[in-house]
Amino acid sequence: MHETLANQHEAVAQYSARQMIEMTRTAHQKAWQILEEISATLKPGITEAEAREAARVIYVQHGVEKSWHRPHIYFGSHTLLSAYDPKPSEILTLGENDIAYIDIGPIISVDGVDIEGDVGQTLVFGDNPMFHQLKAATETIFTQAREYWLSEQPTGIALYQHIAHRSEAAGFTFNLEPAGHLIGAFPHLGWKNGLSHYPHTPEPGIWILEVQLRHPTEPYGAFYEAVLV
C-alpha cells in the first residue's frame, strides 16, 4: 500500500515537473473568458438545454474542439447536483429569482499544447438573500482555502477538512465527494482519487480546487472552482 502511494506521488511529481505554470494561467484566463460569455447568455426564461447549446456555439466561436467534460449548467434545485451525477431527465427553466451554476472544461491549445481550462461559478438572478449568500460563500471559502494552502502547505486531505469546517461556519454543508482533481496537459497521471484524498501538499498549477455547497434545509446549492496557483 505504501509503495503504491509512493509510486502515485512520484507520478504526480513527474507530471508536475512537465507543466508550465504560465501556460496553465493562459489556458485558464481563456476559460474564464468563455465562461463569462456563456454566463451572459443566461436570462430568465432560458432552459438548461438552451444554455448548453449556447455554450456549444461559444466553444465553436473560440475554436474549442475538445473538452475535459461537457458543460454542466444547472438551475434551481439542480444546483444540488455535482459533476459526478448523471444529467437529470427533467430540464429546468431559469426563473426571475433563481440560482444557477456553470462548470466548463474546455481544452485550450497554448503554443501547441492542449491544456484543460476547468473553471466554474454560481450566478444569481433576483434578490433572494439565500442565493446571494450561497454564491458569496463559495467564493469566500475558495479564497480562504487558497490562503491556507499558501501559508500552511497542508495535505490535500487537510485542505478539504479546512474547507468543510469553513462551510459549516458559513451555515452550509460541503457537497462534493471526491473534490478537486489534477489539471493541465494530457495525460495527467498518478492520482485518481481527488484532491480531497491526496496525502501530500498540492503542487501549484496542476490542481483544481472545487467548492460546492448546499443549503442545510432548502434544495439549493452553489459551486466555484479554479486552478490552485
Contacts of residue 85, defined as CB under 8 A and 6 or more positions apart, other chains included, come to none
Whole-angstrom distance between the N-terminal and C-terminal Cα of the chain?
Answer: 30
- Are 59 and 52 in contact by the 8 Å Cβ rule? The answer is no
pLDDT at 10: 82
The DSSP string of 40-95 is HT--TT-BHHHHHHHHHHHHHHTT---BSS--EEEEGGGGG--TTSPPPSS--B--
Residue 131's CATH number: 3.90.230.10
Averaged pLDDT in 10-residue chunks for the chain of 229 residues: 71 74 91 98 98 98 92 98 92 98 95 91 98 98 98 98 98 97 75 93 94 98 97
What are the cell numbers at 110? 497554448
Overall domain count for the chain: 1
Structural domain for 103, as ranges: 2-227
pLDDT at 7: 80
Contacts of residue 196, defined as CB under 8 A and 6 or more positions apart, other chains included, come to 156, 157, 159, 160, 176, 177, 178, 179, 180
**φ, ψ of residue 198 in degrees (nearest 5):** -80, 120
pLDDT at 187: 63
- Are 173 and 219 in contact by the 8 Å Cβ rule? The answer is no
Which runs of consecutive H residues, i.e. helices, occur in the chain?
Answer: 2-18, 21-40, 48-61, 129-152, 156-169
